[in-house]
Each structure stands twice: as C-alpha cells, then as structure tokens.
Amino acid sequence: MPFSAAATAVSVSQYFVNPNYTGEVIDQNDIAVLRLAQKAPDWAASYNIAFGGDLTGKQYNVAGFGARSDVGGAVGADLGTGRRRQGDNTYAFRLGDPDFGGAWPSILQGPLIPLLLGIAVLYFFVFRAKRSQDKQRTDLLQKLKPGQKVQTIGGILGTITQVNDKEVTVKVDETNNVKIKFTRNAIHRVQDDDSSAA
C-alpha cells in the first residue's frame, strides 16, 4: 500500500536484480532495475543510471521507495511501504576507507593481529619442523634393509638380517648368533647413516 493516498500506482512489467545480491545493503550488489508497464506520469521524479567513467570516490545520493521503520533497518516500529528513502553515499565503499572511519587501523592495532602472527610463527617453527622429522622417520623406516647396522629406541645395537612389512629381525650378538624381532617403529636410527640420527 503506498504511503500517500494521492500516489499513482504504475504496474511493473519486469524487474532485473543483480545476480550477486545477497539481501544485504552493504554487499555493494543491492541494485534492481524495474521496467514499468506504462510510461510514468510527467510529474514523477526520475533518476538516470550512470554508465561512463570511473566513479570511485564520487559522491552520490541514493533515493528510492520502500519499507521503513521509525528507527531504521529491521528495528523499530514498521511504518509501512511506499516511503521515500534517500541518503548520501560514496562509490566503492571499502572497509578501512578514511571516509568511513578507517576500520583497518583499529583492527590492525588490536590484539587479533599479534595473536595470528604468533600462531603463524608457531606453525612454521614447531609444526613444520615436526612434520619434516616425521617424514624423515617414515622414509628411514621404509628404506630398512638387511645388512644395515641399527640402534633401537631402547638402545640395543645390531645388524638387520630380515625385514618384512611390520617387523625387523636384528642380530644383536655375532658370536652366539642371537637375533631379536622388533616392530619397524622400534628402530631409532641407522648407525652408518648419520643424517638420520635424531
């Protein structure tokens, strides 16, 4: 229902809404073009659409008709539809523009950035180093073969005599031919390969 009883209603034959419109005014895609079914009355205010040049930073006035509350937005008492709404704005609003109070400085000076930087440093110096060590260990265990001298995580020294998917047989006493079976994960390092020492 229009706000004014003297208003002239004109039917809309077609409307075009920006396909990126999310329903939020601030998303910069809140535009729709209406095609009237007939010519608007001569006394009706009209507005042109700007098609040329870069408008970034230019001032403009938004005008239109729609629902309105006594406070604004979705809060307050509903004053109905058909109310003329207008306001000044600037093209290409971005978070942090000085014209809009520059939100970025307060964000960058707050406690969030040092926390994020701390997490990034922690990731690169701790987690990445651990991941690299884990990869080296996995490579070491996959490359075990008979004849290699090894040390187990318990400190036992010996020579691998047999390897299968899960176990490694290690000769720990050459004189008495004593052999012990270990899981692959029990091997700490290969003695003759100093690069794998942990």
Please state the rounded mean pLDDT for residues 151-157: 93
Report which of residues 68 and 26 the model is more confident about.
Answer: 68
Per-residue pLDDT averaged across 158-180, rounded? 92
Topology classification of domain 143-198: SH3 type barrels. (2.30.30)
- pTM of whole model > 0.85? no
CA atoms within 13 A of residue 99's CA, in its CB half-sphere:
11
Give pLDDT, residue 28.
61
Provide the percentage of residues in the chain whose pLDDT is more than 90: 27
Mean pLDDT of 38-62: 74
Tell me the residue ranges of DSSP E strands in 128-166: 149-152, 157-163
Q: Which of 140, 129, 135, 142 is nearest to 189 (CA)?
A: 140
Domain map (residue ranges) of the chain: 12-94, 143-198
Alpha carbons within 13 angstroms on the beta-carbon side of residue 145 total 4
